[in-house]
Amino acid sequence: MTDSTPYYTRNGALRVPGHTLESEGDPFSPNGGRYVLQSGLGCAKCSCGWLSVPLGSNRKRRDVHAAHKREVAAAMGYEVRA
Ligand SMILES: [Zn+2]
């Protein structure tokens, strides 16, 4: 086991070291700079540099980041829960 091994917390949240959602889902511009718009529209940003497409809420950004972590973990050969 290495420090980059994905794992699940006791409450079932998937953790992938190096892939943390920045600012808890606050919006970032498509070039990665943090910004706040009245609409709330912006990209989710991962600590690895990954950016989502622009989305309208922190909730949606958290959801797509969770999917990003599952993809990263699966690509590492980790058995991701359904
Ligand atoms: Zn990432």
Domain contains 80 = no
Domain contains 32 = yes
Q: Which of 82, 47, 44 is nearest to 64 (CA)?
A: 44
CA distance 61 to 48: 15
**45 CA from centroid of ligand 1 (Å):** 8
Domain contains 2 = no
Domain contains 40 = yes
Does the pTM surpass 0.85? The reply is yes
Domain contains 46 = yes
Domain contains 1 = no
pLDDT along the chain (82 residues), means of 10: 84 95 93 76 96 95 97 95 84
**72 CA from centroid of ligand 1 (Å):** 7
Query: What's the number of domains the chain is made of?
Result: 1
**41 CA from centroid of ligand 1 (Å):** 20
Tokens 């599952």 label which residue? 70
Check: CB of residue 25 under 8 Å from CB of residue 48. Answer: no
What pLDDT score does 4 carry?
Answer: 84
Domain contains 53 = yes
**35 CA from centroid of ligand 1 (Å):** 19
Domain contains 82 = no
Rounded to 5 degrees, what are φ and ψ at 13? -85, 135
Task: Give the residue numbers spanning the domain of 23.
Answer: 7-75
